[in-house]
Structure 1
Amino acid sequence: MGDVLKELAMFSAQLVLVAVVVAIVASAVLRRRDGSPPLGQLQLEDMNARHELRLKRLKQHVGSQETPKGWSKVTLWFGKHRGRKQADKNQDGAEAHVWVLDFHGDLKASGAGRLGKEISALLDVAEANDEVVLKLESPGGLVHAYGHAAAEFDRLKQAGISTTVCVDRVAASGGYLMACGADKLVAAPFAVLGSIGVIAQVPNIHRLLKRHDIDVELHTAGRYKRTLTLLGENDDAGREKFREDLETVHQLFKHYVAERRPALDMEQIASGESWYGSEALALGLIDELGTSEQYLAEKLKSSRVTALRLVERSSLASRLGMAVSLGMERGVQRVIESLEASGWHKR
């Protein structure tokens, strides 16, 4: 029976691998057919045109019914919408432009490099009255990785470009580190925010190895080159230094947030706790409640809105490897998010 199960497991794994390969090839073929830009170029979507196309289809549908009253309402709304668009211009007559970026963060903030390139492109064309809206979703991750992502996003503020972050679900820990740098922070009522704290854990199997007469030698140059170890024997001095390092990172985190949102009570909100959007508003962690769709729908009435995304170039082999790696990472991510969510649901 065991051999049958092993063969079934191997067959299932092979099926998954074949399915991944087929999906990647099909995606590449469809990308060529649908006229989308090749990898390594910017994808630009005119969100006003998309909205007007949908509205036009709605008008056609309403016009085909026996309810002209509904038609007139839609036509009236569309006229007001166009009027607002024409009205919101600066003194030079230039239409306000809103640029929309997406950042869905994983443990390693893998999208930080792409975000930096997108921002570099925007800084070459953005005008003083433009706005950049970042749709951000992230439960946090590695300190240095999210420090990089936050630094990239900060470049917009340094260049004098107005920034808004919209959080529909979660911007916690490293995610909030990025979000707090925006001029305006908008979150859905039940989005999870905060978690201004630092956590680290290191398993140690030294006693298990010792019971089996396995010795591990660890040599370092520098007293604190290694504080805690997985295989060797840890001591109190190493543990204390490890805690000091965590506290140092926490202080840097708090200082970063306090610089960007000085009205916050850091003693209250830097405890590592998370809050839902409505609570976060009362604490000053965000500026207003709302979803990204709601915020952008309002911007469509008065501004030219363009979604921007860099599609990075990669080979078929690397995409296959990335798909397998991403599948494994997402499995780990789900476990971590489930553990984190147990804290979010504490109420």
Structure 2
Amino acid sequence: MKSFFPTFIASFLGVIAAFALGLFIIILIAITGINQEESYSSDSVLKLNLEEFIPEKTDNIPQESLFTGGPTESLGLRRILDLLNSASSDNKIKGILLENNSISYGQATLLSLMQGLQKFKESGKFIYSYADNHSQSSYLLCSVADSMFLNPQGGVDLRGYGTSIPFFKNMFDKIGIEYNIFYAGNFKSATEPFRLTEMSEYNKLQTRTFLTDMKDIMVENLAKNRKLSQEKIELIMSGYEGRTAKKALQNAMVDELFYKDQLDDFMRAKLGIKEGKKIKYISLSKYNKVAKLNDETGDDKIAIVNAEGEIIYGSNESGIISEKKYLDILTKIRNDKKIKAVVLRVNSPGGNAFSSELIWRELELIKKSGKPLIASFGDYAASGGYYIASGADKIVSQPNTLTGSIGVFMMFPNATKLLNEKIGVNFDTIKTHEFATGFSPFNNLTGREKELLQESTSEIYDLFIERVSKGRKLSIDSTKSIAQGRVWTGRKAIEIGLVDKLGDLNDAIALAAEKAGIKKYSTVEYPFIKDDFLNKIIKK
């Protein structure tokens, strides 16, 4: 017994020492790896693989742990554009090689990246692209290249835009579940799969219209980038002429059919590298660690508030929008005297109406404090996403942003038929007042309950209309005529008064600076992304 405590203490200290040594080794390896990446050779080529989802702000998605050996960060859109701008004036970077087969982000993000690449080309440096196969979106992005190379056994999946929507009403009818649906806005189509067996004429109209708009924007850009007529691009899509590499080449969709080793030979010849010598590629993630970005100067600040994801009441998770997370941020911005203007960057399909209203209110207080508020739209700024932005002094959108959807809906499932007839479960209820048990899926809604829910839906819709009418300086009747839950592209939205200007985030920042009357400024992005312990140490 006497030897127990000394042995226990020695063992305990040994475990602590082993843990400390292990942690030290991990940090040392990480720091050593970073130091190795802090220099790169002249005659380097920036290799871009832009297939994965790109958040608005760096790390605004769950990231892999350092222990897995995966990337420690997911670069945001603005950061990528800044890196492209830096590379354009970096003497060590001779050009860009795009290696994309498909992409996992929206069309407005794609357009912003394409515009960033076009700006890079103005420096006189080359951009080449290579793919085994191109998805439609990947092809659009890579069409900015000086030359496009495709695997001889590949193809280009260019065929236009289309959508197929599943409808569940018959299935739910069979299993005994009924949905009580309340909505305001004839074009508010989210509930259609639960109440119809096919698309309504309203939904067919809006879907056909915005798909045609997006197709036209794609055709215009492809025709410009590939130096083909728009009619030729339309014929290529109609005949699916990119389905094989040979046909893609015959139709001038690509410039050469190369295997990967032939691409390497081409790149060596372009760079003046001897046969067998290694091409000096640098990835975007590594370039992010070494690039010298143009430092922003000035004591004045412009706040960029990234509102990205679904709007969910009461949540504090990353990748979503909620009043719980954003009200404190917006209050701090309002009270920070160094912040002279605010850019609200919206990339959201919408969500909870109450949370949207609370965020809208705090943004109104920022405006009342005298700080200009400019909204910038990403892939989506629809429904609640448009709600929170509706009061902005100016709204800037990409032409292929999907926006509007000014409408409201509620859905309540009713499982009484399933429980009673299929399973044999029924409920017997006693209550002191008519609405005491709430709106339960285990009881049929009464006529009065349905009236109350429709009234509530209509009241929220009327408030939404009021917010948009006031913010956009439109009459109530005009607002109602363009609302109704209808989805618009950014290009159409500017025609009907929902958007002021076509452009990207940098255009919105410049507009905010102009409205605030400042020329020298720095930007600060919100929300701050929480870092794990090891990444904090490494980044220091």
* Fold shared, TM-score > 0.5 on shorter chain: yes
1:179 to 372, 384, 389: 389
Q: Secondary structure at the residue paired with 1:200?
A: strand
**Percentage of identical aligned residues:** 21
Aligned position for 1:77:
none
Aligned position for 1:322:
none
Amino acid at match of 1:195: S
1:285 to 488, 495, 498: 498
Amino acid at match of 1:305: S
How far residue 258 of structure 1 moved from its aligned partner, in angstroms, is 1.7
Higher mean C-alpha deviation, range 304-313 or range 249-258? 304-313
Aligned position for 1:91:
none
Q: Structure 1's 26 and 153: CA in aligned 2 closer, same or farther, altered over 3 A?
A: farther
Q: Secondary structure at the residue paired with 1:148?
A: helix
What is the CA–CA distance in structure 2 between the aligned matches of 1:298 and 1:242, rounded to whole Å?
A: 42
What is the CA–CA distance in structure 1 between the aligned matches of 2:457 and 2:431, rounded to whole Å?
A: 21
Aligned position for 2:310:
106
Amino acid at match of 1:207: K
Instruction: Give the structure with higher Rg (CA).
Output: 2
2:331 to 100, 120, 134: 120
Q: How does 1:242-321 map to 2 (within 5 A)?
A: 242-264=453-475, 265-296=478-509, 302-311=519-528
**Contact 1:118-1:308 within 8 A present in 2 as well:** no
- Is residue 230 of structure 1 aligned with residue 432 of structure 2? no
Greater helix content? 1
The superposition leaves residues 23-47 of structure 1 with CA deviations (integer Å, 9 ceiling, x where unpaired) of: 34649x998xx9xxxxxxxxxxxx9
What is the CA–CA distance in structure 2 between the aligned matches of 1:181 and 1:260, rounded to whole Å?
A: 4
1:166 to 376, 383, 403: 376
How far residue 127 of structure 1 moved from its aligned partner, in angstroms, is 5.1
**Contact 2:345-2:375 within 8 A present in 1 as well:** yes
Aligned position for 2:361:
151
How far residue 233 of structure 1 moved from its aligned partner, in angstroms, is 2.2
Q: Secondary structure at the residue paired with 1:114?
A: helix
Q: For structure 2, which runs of at least 5 residues remain unmatched after alignment? A: 1-61, 95-121, 124-293, 316-320, 534-540
**Contact 1:217-1:232 within 8 A present in 2 as well:** no
**Contact 1:100-1:135 within 8 A present in 2 as well:** yes
Q: Structure 1's 30 and 269: CA in aligned 2 closer, same or farther, altered over 3 A?
A: closer
Q: Structure 1's 62 and 259: CA in aligned 2 closer, same or farther, altered over 3 A?
A: same
Query: Greater relative contact order (Cα 8 A, min sep 6): structure 1 or 2?
Result: 1
What is the CA–CA distance in structure 2 between the aligned matches of 1:26 and 1:249, rounded to whole Å?
A: 48
What is the CA–CA distance in structure 2 between the aligned matches of 1:262 and 1:297, rounded to whole Å?
A: 23
Q: Structure 1's 294 and 203: CA in aligned 2 closer, same or farther, altered over 3 A?
A: same
Aligned position for 2:150:
none
How far residue 218 of structure 1 moved from its aligned partner, in angstroms, is 4.1
What is the CA–CA distance in structure 2 between the aligned matches of 1:52 and 1:25, rounded to whole Å?
A: 23
**Contact 2:372-2:512 within 8 A present in 1 as well:** no
**Contact 1:100-1:305 within 8 A present in 2 as well:** no
- Is residue 202 of structure 1 aligned with residue 406 of structure 2? no
The superposition leaves residues 67-93 of structure 1 with CA deviations (integer Å, 9 ceiling, x where unpaired) of: xxxxxx97xxxxxxx9xx99xxxxxxx
What is the CA–CA distance in structure 1 between the aligned matches of 2:506 and 2:481, rounded to whole Å?
A: 31
Aligned position for 2:64:
23
What is the CA–CA distance in structure 1 between the aligned matches of 2:330 and 2:472, rounded to whole Å?
A: 22
What is the CA–CA distance in structure 1 between the aligned matches of 2:435 and 2:483, rounded to whole Å?
A: 27
- Is residue 58 of structure 1 aligned with residue 271 of structure 2? no
**Contact 2:343-2:508 within 8 A present in 1 as well:** no
TM-score by length of structure 1 reads 0.62
Amino acid at match of 1:164: I
**Contact 1:228-1:242 within 8 A present in 2 as well:** no
Q: Structure 1's 296 and 315: CA in aligned 2 closer, same or farther, altered over 3 A?
A: closer
The superposition leaves residues 306-340 of structure 1 with CA deviations (integer Å, 9 ceiling, x where unpaired) of: 12234376999xxxxxxxxxxxxxxxxxxxxxxxx
Amino acid at match of 2:380: V
Aligned length: 257
Q: Structure 1's 169 and 52: CA in aligned 2 closer, same or farther, altered over 3 A?
A: closer
What is the CA–CA distance in structure 2 between the aligned matches of 1:273 and 1:256, rounded to whole Å?
A: 16
The superposition leaves residues 158-197 of structure 1 with CA deviations (integer Å, 9 ceiling, x where unpaired) of: 2111010100211111111101011111111011111111
